[in-house]
Amino acid sequence: MSNGYREWWNKFVNNDRRGFVRLVVIGGLGVLLLGFGSFGVPRPSPPAAKPASSVVGQSPLQRQESQIAAQVAQILSKIPGVTHLSVAVTLTRSIQSQYVDSSGTGTGTQPVVVTTNSGQTVVPFDQIGPAIGGVVVVTPAANRPLIRSELSQAVQTLLQIQPYQVLVLPS
């Protein structure tokens, strides 16, 4: 096999000088482009991913997602046969408070403070809960269809969401 390769190479170098020169020029150009490709304007590297357990620096929405996921995981872990459970919750809106405005309706976004003999109090009107986009549950127990179904139904009931918003996966 090496003789066939040598014969081809010798014929190529001796008989086809133009092709050989083209090959060397294109190869040299490729090496130059690779070498000079790192010059120019430096690009910043993407930010490093923060661990999910880090509460410092999280937005209020992320903190609420973590709190809800921890509460759901605590409840789901009590289902018999469920071990090594991980839960992730995605919120599309955080908790919003509505306050009584000066006209007495519930359309205010700033609290009305009422001063009484016992001090100042805020007049609340309503609190709208977070909007849940989806939930992912991962556990080795999800290999069993009955437990997978129970986990999905439990999440739907706990968070009052639709079945398409819940994904239960085996790990």
Q: What is the pLDDT of residues 33-81, one digit of tens each?
A: 877 776 666 666 555 555 544 556 678 788 888 999 999 999 999 999 8
The model's pTM: 0.53
Domain ranges of the chain: 2-34, 60-95+130-169, 97-125
Q: How far apart, in whole angstroms, are the C-alpha atoms of residue 147 and residue 170?
A: 11
Tokens 């079945």 — which residue? 163
* Alpha-carbon 28 to chain mean position: 44
pLDDT reported for residue 50: 52
Question: Between vectors from CA 64 to CA 60 and to CA 65, what angle results, nearest 5°?
Answer: 115
Residue 115: predicted pLDDT: 73
Backbone angles phi, psi at 106, to 5 degrees: -100, 35
Distances (CA, A) of 158 to 17, 76, 153, 162: 77, 10, 8, 11
What kind of fold does domain 60-95+130-169 have according to CATH?
GMP Synthetase; Chain A, domain 3 (3.30.300)
Q: CA 80 to CA 135: how far, in whole Å? A: 20
